[in-house]
Structure 1
Amino acid sequence: MANIKELKKKIKSTKSTSKITQAMKLVSAAKLAKAQNNILNSRPYARELEDTIKTVSALVQNYDHEFLNEKKDNNKAVLLVISSDKGLCGSYNSQLAKKVRKFLEETNLDVKLIFIGKKVRDLLAADLNKGKTYSFVKNEPTFMEMEQVGVELSELFKTGEVGHVFVAFNHFLSAIAFDPTVKQLLPLTLDTAEKETLKEKFPFDFKYDPSATEILNTLIPQTYISTLYTALLDAVAAEHGSRMSAMDSASSNCKKAIRTLSIKMNKLRQAAITTELSEVVSGAESLNG
Structure 2
Amino acid sequence: MAGSKEIKRRIVSVKNTRQITKAMKMVSAAKLRRAQEAVQSARPYANKLREVIANLAARTSEDAHPMLANPKEVKKVLFYVFTSDRGLCGSFNSALIRAAKLAIQQKRSEGITVDVIAIGKKGRDAFRRDQGFQKAFIDITGRLNYDDVQTIAGELSESFMSGTYDEVHSVYNKFVTVLTQVPTAVRVLPIEATPNDGSDEEALGYLYEPSEEQLLAELLPKNVEVQVNAMLLNSMASEQASRMTAMDSATNNASEMLRKLSLKYNRARQAAITTELSEIIAGAGAL
TM-score when normalising by structure 2: 0.90
Who is 1:10 aligned against?
10
Q: Deviations over 1:36-82 (max 9, x none)?
A: 11011100110011111122332457872111001233411111111
Who is 2:146 aligned against?
143
Separation in structure 1 between the aligned mates of residue 11 and residue 98 of structure 2, nearest angstrom: 37
Task: Establish whether residue 175 from structure 1 lines up as the match of residue 178 from structure 2.
Answer: yes
Who is 1:112 aligned against?
115
Who is 1:161 aligned against?
164
- Which is worse superposed, 237-246 or 182-191? 182-191
Separation in structure 2 between the aligned mates of residue 206 and residue 170 of structure 1, nearest angstrom: 32
Who is 1:245 aligned against?
245
Map 1:1-289 → 2, pairs under 5 A: 3-60=3-60, 64-107=64-107, 108=110, 109-124=112-127, 126-135=129-138, 139-190=142-193, 194-196=195-197, 199=199, 202-203=202-203, 207-287=207-287
SS of aligned partner of 2:78: strand
Separation in structure 1 between the aligned mates of residue 217 and residue 78 of structure 2, nearest angstrom: 24
Aligned residues between the structures? 284
Separation in structure 2 between the aligned mates of residue 250 and residue 210 of structure 1, nearest angstrom: 57
Separation in structure 2 between the aligned mates of residue 163 and residue 92 of structure 1, nearest angstrom: 29
Q: Deviations over 1:165-194 (max 9, x none)?
A: 111111111112211111111000226xx3
Which ranges in structure 1 are unaligned for 5 or more consecutive residues? none
Q: Deviations over 1:193-233 (max 9, x none)?
A: x332x947944895432333322222222222211110110
Two-structure CA RMSD over aligned residues (Å):
2.4
Separation in structure 1 between the aligned mates of residue 205 and residue 185 of structure 2, nearest angstrom: 35
Q: Deviations over 1:122-164 (max 9, x none)?
A: 2247243100112457743312221121111211111111111
* Residue identity matched to 1:70: N
Separation in structure 2 between the aligned mates of residue 12 and residue 232 of structure 1, nearest angstrom: 39
- Which is worse superposed, 99-108 or 211-220? 211-220
Percent identical among aligned pairs is 37
- Which is worse superposed, 123-132 or 16-25? 123-132
* Residue identity matched to 2:154: V
Q: 1:62 to 1:243 in 2, by over 3 A?
A: closer
Q: 1:234 to 1:207 in 2, by over 3 A?
A: closer
Q: 1:152 to 1:264 in 2, by over 3 A?
A: same
